[in-house]
Amino acid sequence: MSNKTPLQITPLFLPFESSEAMGKHIIQFAVDDYNKAIGETLIDAKNDAEAISAFLSEYRESSLTLQAYAKEIERLLLWCIHIARVNISSLRRNHLVDYQSFLKNPQPRKLWCGPKVARQLKDGSVNPAWRAFGAAGLSVTTLNKAITILDSFFNYLVQTNYLTGNPLAVERRRKKRNREQSKIIDRYLELDEIHAVLNALADYPSKDEDQQFQIVRARYIILLMFYTGLRIAEAAAHKMGNFTQRESNWFLRVVGKGKKLREIPVPDELLKALADFRLQVGLESAQPQFREKTPLIPMQNLKQSISARRINQILKWAFQLGANRLEVQHPRKASKLRSASAHWLRHSYVTSLLDSGAPLKVAQENAGHSDIGTTMRYRHIAQTDRHAATRTLSLVTKKRKKAESTY
C-alpha cells in the first residue's frame, strides 16, 4: 500500500443499512474461513458483513453503545482489509495479538493517525482527511475497552453459530486470572479535592452571562454526579422530569446499563444544589416539575442536552482549576486532579456512601451494580482504620518505650 494512497473507508456502520454497504467494501480474500461454523446460524447472515450488521442491530436502541461498538469493529475491519488481508471468519489468535500491537502504535502513521475531523463532507462523500485514530495509538485503558468490545462481538458470533470459536478467548481467560490484581478502586476523589475544585469555580472570574452559565453548570455537574453516582452516559441521557417525589422523599429515576431501571435517593444537599442551579439559569421553579422535559444537564438554551463527551470536557476543565489551586501546598493532589475524569466522581460516590456507613446492598442498588462483588471492590474505605490500628507497630517493647518516656 503506497504511503500516498489514503485508506478506503466506509461510513460508520448502522444496523439498519450496513450489511449491503459493507458487503461492497469488505474484500473477499482468498482465505480459508477456517472458523466459519457448519450448519444453520441463529442469525440471517451469509457473510461477515451481514453478521456484523446483525450484531450491531442488537444495540440500535442504545446510540452511545452502538457508536462505540461500530467504531471498534470498523477499526478491526480496516486492519483486516489493509494490513492482514484476511476476513473475520479467518482471524486466528496470532492475528488478534498482532492487531493489539497495531492499536498501540498504528503504522504507517500518516495513513492511520490524524486530527479529529468529520467523517463525511457536506455532500455526503468520505472526507479524505479522516483517520481511524487520533494523534497516536490507543492508551492502555482504551485498548482494554476495545478488546472487551471485540470479545463481545466474537462471543455473539459463536453463540449464534456463525463462528466456531472466539479467537480472543485466551485473552479473556488471562484477564480473569489477573483480575485479582486490580480489584481495589483507587481512581476516586477525596472530599478536600472536590472542595478545592468547587472553591476554584467559585473564585473563577466571569466576564459575561455566557461564562457565568458555564461556571454555574460546571459546579452543578460536579455535585449532581457526586451525590448520585451517575455514569456519564446516564447524566447525558436523562431529563429533569426523572426527578420524582414520593411523600417528602426525592429520587432520581434512571435507566442505566443493560436498560435496568433504578431509583437513586436524592440527598438534601443535592436537592439544594439542584434548586440553586435551576434558579440561577432561569428555570421557573426551584424543584423539577412532573415529567419536565428540560435536560438533566442542559445547553445554555435549556432545551438541548449536552453530550457525554462534553460533560467530561467540562469536568476536566474544572479539575484543572482545582489542581492549580492545590499545586503549591499539595502537589500530589494536584497531579491526581489532572488525571481525573468524570467517572472518578462515580467512584467517589460509592466510596463516600460506604464510608458514611451505608450497607453494601444500598450502595450496590444506588450505583446500579449488577453484582455486589463490584461494590465490594471499594475496599479502600477500610484502609484508614487499618492504618490507624497498624501505625503503632514497633520493634521497641512497651516497657522500653515507657522507660524512654520518663527521661
CA distances 36 to 81, 93, 154, 166, Å, are 18, 15, 12, 11
pLDDT (average), residues 43-50:
87
The pLDDT value recorded for residue 16 is: 32
The pLDDT value recorded for residue 12 is: 42
Pinpoint the residues of the chain covered by CATH 1.10.443.10: 191-382
The pLDDT value recorded for residue 292 is: 95
pLDDT (average), residues 8-24:
40
pLDDT (average), residues 33-37:
83
With a cut of 90, say whether residue 386 has pLDDT above it. no
Phi (first) and psi of residue 120, to 5 degrees: -125, 150
pLDDT in tens, 327-366: 999 999 999 999 999 999 999 999 888 888 888 888 888 9
The pLDDT value recorded for residue 47 is: 87
pLDDT bin (cut points 50, 70, 90) of residue 22 is very low
Please say whether the structural domain 191-382 has been given the CATH code 3.30.70.870: no
With a cut of 60, say whether residue 52 has pLDDT above it. yes
Distance CA 143, CA 171 (A): 13
The pLDDT value recorded for residue 104 is: 92
The pLDDT value recorded for residue 308 is: 92
pLDDT bin (cut points 50, 70, 90) of residue 25 is very low
pLDDT in tens, 233-243: 999 999 999 99
pLDDT in tens, 93-140: 899 999 999 999 998 888 899 888 888 888 878 888 888 888 888 888
With a cut of 60, say whether residue 180 has pLDDT above it. no
With a cut of 50, say whether residue 72 has pLDDT above it. yes
With a cut of 60, say whether residue 1 has pLDDT above it. no
